[in-house]
Amino acid sequence: MLAQNCFPHTREPGRPAALGTIVTLPNPQLLEIALLAGCEWIFVDCEHGAITTSGLGCLLTGVPRDVPVLVRLPANDEVYVKQALDSGAAGIICPSVEDAATAARLVSWAKYPPAGTRSVGIGRAHGYGLGLASYMEQANGLTSVVVQIESIAGVRALDDILEVSGLGGVFIGPYDLSASMGLVGQPTAPAVRKTIHDIVERCRARAVPVGQFFGGAQAFGADEISGRLDFAALGLDTTLLAQSLELQLCTARSVS
Ligand code: 3PY
Ligand code: MG
């Protein structure tokens, strides 16, 4: 039942990063808005957002099956992996992975035997049973496990993590990374940018797709790192609304 190619993938030379956004509220219209606005993929946030993994099937019903949705797990727990993938997500984003054993366990939970130990459920991904056989045949190749590198411990373990077989990608969390570096609330501080640059280059050297979150003060394209990324998430629903509304109000008040 899956129509999408495995996402994320390494960017072809000369092509820009695949751009998406983060949805944190459990309203299918937000996903529709993101797609109408031109997003190529969607990051659904069950870690910091108000979305539960058990409600994902319902949230994703309006999303065409060829649009990649990656679900960030509330925690790196097998139950959440099952629920996210059974809902038809193209992959999972696993918060703060700091060692290769954790990354390998996550990959195993996400892949059906013999590649891994994913449990067999019947959900939206399987066409509610009507597409069970074809989904199970394709799922290991089409679902991805993306690990977040967002701490100094994760950066130190990165080379080992990148060796994990079946890893689908790395997603950099600049906010947690900066906090872990003693620079809380400073995701664009030069030392943080330098560390991000190092992560990106190490991923690229191993041809592992690498992406990053851009929010608040950070602008995609503001430095050369943007051009080295395979995928990126630009802002999140709540802050995009807040920032845009604040700007509108400010402009309106300045002319009245
Ligand atoms: C972070 O910046 O810490 C994130 O996890 C963004 O998604
Ligand atoms: Mg984070």
CB 220 within 8 A of CB 232: yes
pLDDT given at position 2: 45
Checking DSSP bridges between strand 69-72 and strand 144-149, what pairing results, if any?
unpaired
Answer whether residue 198 shows pLDDT above 90: yes
Query: Which ligand sits nearest to residue 187's alpha carbon?
Result: 1
Point out the ligand nearest to the CA of residue 93: 1
Q: If you write DSSP's letter for every residue of the chain in order, what string do you get?
A: ---SPPSS-PPPTTPPPEEEEEE-SS-HHHHHHHHHTT-SEEEEESSSSS--GGGHHHHHTTS-TTS-EEEE-SSS-HHHHHHHHHTT-SEEEES---SHHHHHHHHHHHS-TTTS------SGGGGGGTTHHHHHHHHHHH-EEEEEE-SHHHHHTHHHHHTSTT--EEEE-HHHHHHHTT-TT-TTSHHHHHHHHHHHHHHHHTT--EEEEE-TT--TTSSTTGGG-SEEEEEEHHHHHHHHHHHHHHHHHHH-
Nearest atom, ligand 1, residue 174 CA: 2
Query: Which pLDDT score, from 0 to 100, does residue 13 have?
Result: 86
Q: How many Å lie between the centroid of ligand 1 and the Cα of residue 126? A: 30
pLDDT at 164 over 90: yes
Residue among 174, 167, 210 nearest 10 (CA): 210
Query: Does residue 144 have a pLDDT over 80?
Result: yes
Residue 127 has pLDDT above 80, yes or no: yes
Question: Is residue 216 very low, low, confident or very high in pLDDT (cuts 50, 70, 90)?
Answer: confident
CA of 213 to the centre of ligand 1 (A): 6
What is the distance in A from the centroid of ligand 1 to the CA of 226? 16
Candidate from 21, 92, 148 with most ligand 1 atoms within 8 A of CB, to mutate: 148
Confidence of residue 3 (pLDDT cuts 50, 70, 90): very low
CA of 72, nearest ligand number: 1
Which residue's CA lies nearest to atom 4 of ligand 1? Answer: 173
Question: Is residue 213 in contact with ligand 1, taking CB distance under 6 Å?
Answer: yes
Does the active-site annotation cover 197? no
pLDDT in tens, 94-112: 999 999 999 999 999 999 9
- Residue 230 CA to residue 195 CA, distance in Å, equals 17
pLDDT tier, 5 (very low <50, low <70, confident <90, very high otherwise): low
Distance (angstroms) between ligand 2 centre and the Cα of 138 equals 30
Active-site residue (options: 9, 48, 126, 197): 48
Q: What is the pLDDT of residues 6-51, one digit of tens each?
A: 999 999 888 999 999 999 999 999 999 999 999 999 999 999 999 9
Q: Which atom of ligand 1 is nearest to the CA of 45?
A: 7
Whether the link from the prior residue into 114 is cis, omega within 30° of 0, is yes
Split at pLDDT 50, 70, 90, the class of 73 is very high
Please confirm whether the linkage preceding 8 is cis (ω < 30° from 0): yes
Cβ–ligand 1 distance for 214 under 6 Å, the answer no
Q: What is the mean pLDDT of the chain?
A: 95
- CA–centroid distance for 99 within its chain: 18
